[in-house]
């Protein structure tokens, strides 16, 4: 991946403020982190209401909603069968959802088969092993990082970026009761993480993932608030399922990908770099090799890449 693509992932590739390059911002673990462990997202697939593959959106079958969000995290989920509403168009035509004020965007052409590995909730003690695997397999990923974890492992964030991976924003706290108080609170949490990342690597990530995914968590005003700040939201359409339990066997994670990937030419794959997710590390080489065998090319997310979003994931 060239430098232009990675600067695109960050939105702005300017140098950090003088005196901040290489700055160690390691901080003590925030008190709320003990009381509010990292909360993980739901898994889904990507068929529309007719059952056809959709390159942008993902349907979430109830059988695959394996992660429950805390009651403070979301409004009542949309009922099954909620019609797909177009937020982003691959053709670049304007959004059509009533009340949605998202910008007109045109996204880049992609190879016939493309997969974007996305790794949430780090950095952690597992990150160094994940980076070794990515380097060995000669692929890159997008790391959606949490600010409290960045403070604990600043050097791993820098190493991930220097190795050619993209960095995305997964909020500073990942604390549902904080971030889903209001659109303003959500954006403020993103901004806090953005500044932290900028001090370390000199880019301001504009690709974001919402804790728990957008389904059930995002009022339409949240989309408008993040769009006003030039953020782009990315859900997923294939998941390892490593968020469905504290520790899922590596064989199960591999099986989940092998079952969900066939028939999809465009994949955003969800996995986690949270503390203790060592089976994800064990499964990663086999997942990458399987996807290579299926003919996928590997890419990283940037504002030029069309998002995949869960339909019905907003509330007007």
- Nearest 5°: CA angle at 127, between 125 and 131? 145
Alpha-carbon torsion (62, 99, 214, 48), positive or negative: positive
Residue 39 and residue 176 in contact, taking contact as beta carbons nearer than 8 Å: yes
Provide CB contacts within 8 A for 18, sequence distance 6+. Answer: none
Q: SS3 for 312?
A: coil
Residues 5, 120, 227, 235: which is the catalytic one?
Answer: 120
Alpha-carbon torsion (182, 176, 149, 231), positive or negative: negative
**φ, ψ for residue 50, nearest 5 deg:** -90, -5
Q: How many CB atoms lie within 10 A of CB 104?
A: 9
Is 120 catalytic? The answer is: yes
**φ, ψ for residue 144, nearest 5 deg:** -90, 105
Residues 170, 174, 272, 273: which is the catalytic one?
Answer: 272
Is 215 catalytic? The answer is: no
d(CA 242, CA 68): 14
The H or E element spanning position 115 is: strand 114-120
- What is the biggest distance separating any 2 CA atoms in the chain, rounded to whole angstroms? 55
d(CA 156, CA 309): 29
Residues pairing with 169 in the sheet: 145, 208
Cα–Cα nearest to 129, from 167, 168, 160 = 160
d(CA 169, CA 11): 12
Q: With left for phi above 0 and alpha for psi between -120 and 50, is residue 128 left, alpha or beta? A: alpha
Q: So which residues are the catalytic ones?
A: 120, 272
């Amino acid at each position: 991946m060239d430098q232009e693509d990675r600067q695109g992932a960050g939105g702005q590739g300017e140098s950090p403020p003088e005196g901040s390059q290489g700055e160690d911002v390691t901080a003590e673990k925030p008190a709320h982190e003990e009381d509010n462990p990292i909360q993980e997202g739901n898994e889904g697939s990507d068929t529309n209401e007719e059952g056809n593959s959709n390159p942008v959106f993902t349907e979430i079958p109830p059988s695959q909603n394996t992660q429950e969000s805390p009651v403070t995290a979301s409004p009542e989920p949309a009922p099954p069968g909620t019609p797909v509403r177009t937020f982003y168009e691959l053709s670049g035509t304007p959004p059509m959802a009533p009340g949605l004020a998202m910008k007109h965007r045109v996204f880049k052409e992609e190879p016939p088969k493309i997969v974007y590995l996305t790794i949430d909730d780090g950095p952690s003690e597992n990150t160094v092993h994940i980076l070794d695997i990515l380097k060995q397999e000669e692929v890159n990923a997008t790391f959606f990082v949490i600010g409290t974890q960045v403070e604990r492992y600043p050097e791993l964030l820098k190493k991930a970026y220097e190795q050619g991976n993209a960095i995305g924003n997964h909020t500073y706290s990942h604390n549902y009761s904080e971030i889903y108080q209001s659109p303003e609170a959500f954006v403020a949490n993103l901004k806090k993480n953005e500044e932290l990342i900028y001090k370390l690597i000199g880019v301001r990530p504009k690709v974001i993932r919402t804790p728990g995914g957008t389904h059930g968590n995002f009022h339409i005003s949240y989309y408008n608030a993040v769009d006003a700040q030039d953020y782009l939201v990315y859900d997923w359409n294939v998941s390892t399922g490593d968020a469905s339990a504290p520790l899922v066997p590596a064989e199960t994670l591999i099986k989940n990908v092998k079952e969900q990937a066939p028939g999809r030419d465009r994949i955003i794959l969800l996995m986690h770099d949270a503390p203790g997710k060592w089976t994800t590390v064990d499964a990663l080489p086999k997942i990458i090799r399987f996807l290579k065998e299926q003919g996928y090319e590997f890419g990283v997310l940037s504002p030029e890449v069309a998002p995949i979003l869960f339909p019905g994931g907003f509330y007007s």
